[in-house]
């Protein structure tokens, strides 16, 4: 592998692509440190340094790859584009026009990409407004201390539009950099942008392990981080690369004067088709109820109000990281999180598999699964196989998602404080993205080397 890496740098075109990719990622990280106009950055940094356990801020920071901590123009990252892509994927089986475009090959995909970009811009505006409002709801003193001139009344309209345009511009700039990397660099640009944001958080989070006051807890947390990360990466590679191969037989075909003999092949069905999308969906749903409950929380003098007590309980849902202080809430939160991830994995996998239209494609090309009749029987068989292997992927994603809760419980049993920090240096969703991007980039380098008659990485 080291020899192959050296060879890759000796090929002028590959060397140019690698350096271009690195340069674009550096530009992205530099822009990610430019604050949004109109924000009181000093007050914001003071809040984030004191309240690191805020669920809303942590969730938004995960999506942006750490840019929310700086309240940067890249605070939304490329996630409006990801959201638009998911919306198009979900609407394709429902809208006949999109389904026709998806079946038209390269030209159809290009048109769908244009539609995705058109949807991204209004989504980015809406997400910018929603993100700022979410942050305002999560702040103790409201949004006025952080962004005093944000609003749509009076003289606040111009500063508000400036802030929103800066955030939308940052998102579109990030998407543009991603497209440049895809065209002139190595790997998928959008994925590498997300990858760069996640990796940039690792060093500060790792440094936090060395600042744990108790020496025993510090040593155990560092060892747990190394062991946990190694095992998690190993399992992610096995699950991500795991697939069920359904055998397919093609009959003899006659095209003009040529007769094509039948051949055998297979349809690969991945164990984890959904990727990390179910974790993002589950986190969004878990963050929403506490946010709504904050509207109904009164002052301490109204503790006798039944609605106020319920709202206060919901608003603190998920904020408890210690299983000893509130064991019932702790177990309910992580169990509900696990079930949501499993449910969304099945839902998203079903949507993705239905879009592939495997039974119809096989029937149109003259292929069939041995022992299974074409049509409804093939569709039922493929669905049953997909749901069986999805169970493994769903449980895997669920365990990855609740790993911080598992480590907190182990730390409580072993009486080791701050052990859950070992699972928070890089989250499970972040590790899935990192491993997937690395594997995809290595494959592209492998293909480039083999195309130029060099020995690849895998050998």
Q: Where are the domains of the chain?
A: 1-209
Mapping DSSP to helix (H, G, I), strand (E, B) and coil, where does residue 365 land? coil
Helix (H) or strand (E) holding 132: helix 106-138
Instruction: Identify the weakest region by mean pLDDT among 226-230, 249-253, 337-341, 389-393.
Output: 249-253
pLDDT 10s digits, 122-166:
888 888 887 787 777 666 666 777 777 777 776 678 888 888 899
The closest of 287, 401, 326 to 55, measured between CA atoms, is: 287
Domain 1-209: give its CATH architecture.
Answer: Orthogonal Bundle (1.10)
Tally the residues of the chain.
459
Cα separation values, 424 from 32, 48, 131, 221, Å: 22, 16, 23, 11
pLDDT 10s digits, 337-377:
899 889 988 888 887 787 777 777 777 777 778 888 887 88
The closest of 279, 341, 280, 291 to 319, measured between CA atoms, is: 291
Place of tokens 């155990």: 220
Helix (H) or strand (E) holding 137: helix 106-138
**3-state helix/strand/coil string of 415-438:** CCCCHHHHHCCCCHHHHHHHHHHH
Contact 315, 290 (CB under 8 A): yes
Q: Tokens in use for 142?
A: 């409201």
For position 300, what pLDDT does the model report? 44
């Amino acid at each position: 592998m080291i020899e192959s890496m050296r060879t890759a740098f000796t090929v002028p075109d590959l060397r140019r692509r690698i350096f271009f990719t690195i340069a674009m990622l550096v530009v992205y990280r530099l822009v990610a440190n430019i604050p949004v106009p109109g924000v009181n950055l000093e007050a914001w940094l003071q809040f984030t340094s004191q309240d690191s356990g805020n669920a809303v801020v942590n969730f938004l920071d995960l999506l942006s790859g750490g840019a929310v901590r700086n309240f940067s123009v890249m605070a939304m990252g490329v996630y409006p584009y990801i959201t638009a892509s998911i919306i198009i994927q979900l609407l394709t089986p429902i809208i006949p026009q999109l389904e026709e475009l998806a079946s038209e090959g390269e030209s159809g995909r290009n048109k769908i990409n244009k539609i995705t970009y058109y949807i991204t811009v209004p989504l980015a505006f809406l997400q910018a407004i929603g993100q700022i409002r979410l942050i305002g709801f999560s702040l103790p003193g409201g949004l006025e201390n952080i962004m005093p001139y944000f609003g749509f009344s009076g003289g606040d309209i111009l500063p508000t539009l400036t802030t929103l345009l800066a955030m939308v511009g940052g998102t579109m700039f990030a998407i543009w950099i991603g497209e440049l990397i895809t065209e002139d660099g190595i790997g998928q640009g959008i994925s590498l942008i997300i990858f760069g944001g996640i990796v940039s958080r690792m060093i500060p989070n790792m440094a936090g392990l060395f600042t744990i006051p108790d020496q025993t807890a510090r040593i155990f947390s560092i060892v747990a981080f190394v062991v946990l990360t190694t095992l998690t990466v190993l399992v992610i590679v096995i699950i991500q690369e795991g697939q069920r191969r359904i055998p397919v037989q093609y009959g003899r075909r006659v095209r003009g004067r040529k007769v094509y003999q039948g051949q055998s092949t297979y349809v690969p069905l991945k164990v984890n088709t959904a990727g990390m999308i179910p974790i993002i969906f589950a986190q969004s749903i878990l963050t929403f109820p506490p946010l709504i409950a904050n509207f109904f929380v009164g002052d301490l003098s109204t503790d006798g109000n039944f609605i106020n007590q319920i709202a206060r309980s919901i608003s603190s849902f998920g904020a408890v990281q210690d299983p000893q202080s509130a064991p019932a809430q702790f177990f309910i939160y992580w169990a509900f999180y696990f079930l949501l991830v499993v449910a969304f994995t099945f839902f998203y996998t079903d949507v993705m598999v239905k879009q592939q239209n495997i039974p119809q494609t096989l029937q149109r090309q003259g292929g069939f699964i041995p022992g299974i009749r074409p049509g409804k029987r093939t569709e039922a068989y493929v669905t049953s196989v997909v749901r069986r292997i999805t169970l493994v992927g769903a449980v895997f994603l669920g365990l990855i998602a609740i790993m911080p809760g598992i480590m907190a419980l182990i730390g409580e049993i072993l009486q080791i404080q701050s052990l859950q920090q070992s699972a928070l240096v890089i989250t499970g969703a972040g590790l899935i993205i990192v491993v997937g991007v690395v594997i995809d980039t290595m494959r592209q380098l492998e293909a480039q080397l083999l195309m130029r008659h060099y020995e690849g990485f895998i050998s």
